[in-house]
Structure 1
């Protein structure tokens, strides 16, 4: 088991190093000069050159990369060019909306997909099974931003049940902020539930065909116990996998949804940083998102140890 954990930790380090390198190179080769964007169209070439020198952008890519790696190893993600605050501070200020949006979306997706997927597999070939498959395929093909716009038009503009956008004022209560998160969480959760539903159904169908399920039924065990204790327990590996992947995708996919609903989260911060060519913020945000992605997958790998004893050996 220790060897299994060490292998996963070593893989995490390699992945993060590759992510840091790729993001750094892509950001630097993208057209656009942050110094020119900051100074505006009336700036002279000398003004732009002076600002580039002050920001360290006149150095070679290799020099900038070595400097960035050294700062990152010390826990310093740099200083935002436009916000003029540390990147870690900017990310911390925007973390709350993204965290709650991701958590609520994942909970909603799981609440919808898991019971429906289990029941659809149990009633294979029935109307419920076929209808759930059609609905899942439809939901998977719907862009979350389009669904978000429809929800805004219906529940915010026409009926006025939920706020159109934003996250409440600086002193808003948790209940007010929760109301602002309902529509974006639904738009993300419904779309994400399609993948979870299909994987849950497929995993349960594979288990229902195994011999020990027939043996449990032959012993006269109640159907609820057969489905939940025997079948579901042995189908948890692929279900946990898709839940972890969905959580990671939601963290990265919140960028567009936060923009549609004007949520002041990490996603909107990344969009504004890309438009302004704010290199440190782009690199820091993508590094944090990639880190969360890797940590979520590592947590799922650890859950494998609890769900399936064979993994320990």
Structure 2
């Protein structure tokens, strides 16, 4: 177990170094002077020269790379050109709405997908099973921005059940801000429930026909005990895998929903940084999201031990 964790941590370090290299190369491959691109066409040569000096762009490329990697490993992701603040501080200020949005969306997706997926597998071929599959395919096919706009118009604007957009004012308390995330969480939860539902159904179908399930039934156990205690426990590995991947994708891929609902999260920040040519913020976001993605994959693998004692690393 310890050896496996050490191997995975080494693998995580390799992936992070690869991401750092890609982030470093992206800026250097941009045509023209990176400092001039960051400052925009109205920048003077003196301003560009000052920024090149501050970012170390006058140094040889190997020295720049080693400095960039060393600073990143220490938590220094540079300074934002637009905000004139450390990138880590800018990202931390925008991380709260993105993390809560991803978490609430995942909870809603699980509430929708797991019970329906289990029951659809149990009643395979029934009208409920066919309806669940068709609805899941429809939810996965409809763009999230369209669903968000429809919910925003009818549930927020016309019915007034939810705030239409934003994240509350500067003085808003925690619950007011969470209230602004309910509607976008429902949108993302519905969209992402499709994949979890299909994996849950497929995984349950694989185990419901096994011998130990028939043995449990022959012993007189109730159907729900057979399904939930025996079948679901042994079908949990693929379900946990897709849940972990869904959460990682929600953290890194909620850009469209944040733009539709004007949520000041990391996705919205990245779009604004691209428009402003704020390359340090783009680099920092890429590094943080990739590291988080790898870490979630590690936690997902470790969760296998809790749900299935047969798993050994």
- TM-score (normalizing by structure 2): 0.94
Higher mean C-alpha deviation, range 24-33 or range 272-281: 24-33
Deviations 1:229-283 (A, max 9, x none): 0000000100000000000000111122111211111111111112222222111
Higher mean C-alpha deviation, range 290-299 or range 3-12: 3-12
Q: Secondary structure at the match of 1:309?
A: coil
d(CA) in 1 for partners of 2:51, 2:71: 21
- Contact 1:139–1:191 (Cα < 8 Å) also in 2: yes
Determine whether 1:188 maps to 2:199: no
d(CA) in 1 for partners of 2:189, 2:97: 15
Question: 1:267 maps to which residue?
Answer: 267
Question: 2:257 maps to which residue?
Answer: 257
Q: Secondary structure at the match of 2:254?
A: helix
Question: 1:229 maps to which residue?
Answer: 229
- Contact 2:156–2:163 (Cα < 8 Å) also in 1: yes
Consecutive unaligned residues of structure 2, counting only runs of 5 or more, are none
d(CA) in 2 for partners of 1:217, 1:296: 37
Deviations 1:121-179 (A, max 9, x none): 00000000000000001111112122111111112222222222110011112221122
Question: 1:119 maps to which residue?
Answer: 119
d(CA) in 2 for partners of 1:114, 1:145: 24
Matches within 5 A, 1:144-155: 144-155=144-155
Consecutive unaligned residues of structure 1, counting only runs of 5 or more, are none
d(CA) in 2 for partners of 1:196, 1:170: 36
Deviations 1:5-29 (A, max 9, x none): 2222222112111122122212432
Higher mean C-alpha deviation, range 22-31 or range 167-176: 22-31
Deviation (angstroms), 1:37:
5.5
d(CA) in 2 for partners of 1:191, 1:28: 37
Q: Secondary structure at the match of 2:96?
A: helix
Higher mean C-alpha deviation, range 303-312 or range 42-51: 42-51
Determine whether 1:167 maps to 2:167: yes
Deviation (angstroms), 1:201:
0.1
Matches within 5 A, 1:30-49: 30-31=30-31, 35-36=35-36, 40-49=40-49
Deviations 1:175-213 (A, max 9, x none): 211221112111111110000000000000000011100
Matches within 5 A, 1:1-313: 1-31=1-31, 35-36=35-36, 40-312=40-312
- Contact 1:28–1:61 (Cα < 8 Å) also in 2: no
Change in Cα spacing, 1:35 to 1:3, as seen in structure 2 (3 Å) is closer
Alignment root-mean-square deviation, CA: 1.8
d(CA) in 2 for partners of 1:212, 1:54: 66
d(CA) in 2 for partners of 1:22, 1:37: 18
Change in Cα spacing, 1:152 to 1:169, as seen in structure 2 (3 Å) is same
- Contact 2:16–2:290 (Cα < 8 Å) also in 1: yes
d(CA) in 1 for partners of 2:40, 2:12: 41
Deviations 1:70-122 (A, max 9, x none): 11122211111221111111111111101110100000000000000000000
d(CA) in 1 for partners of 2:272, 2:61: 23
d(CA) in 2 for partners of 1:54, 1:11: 33
d(CA) in 1 for partners of 2:296, 2:85: 28
- Contact 2:113–2:193 (Cα < 8 Å) also in 1: yes
d(CA) in 2 for partners of 1:312, 1:237: 13
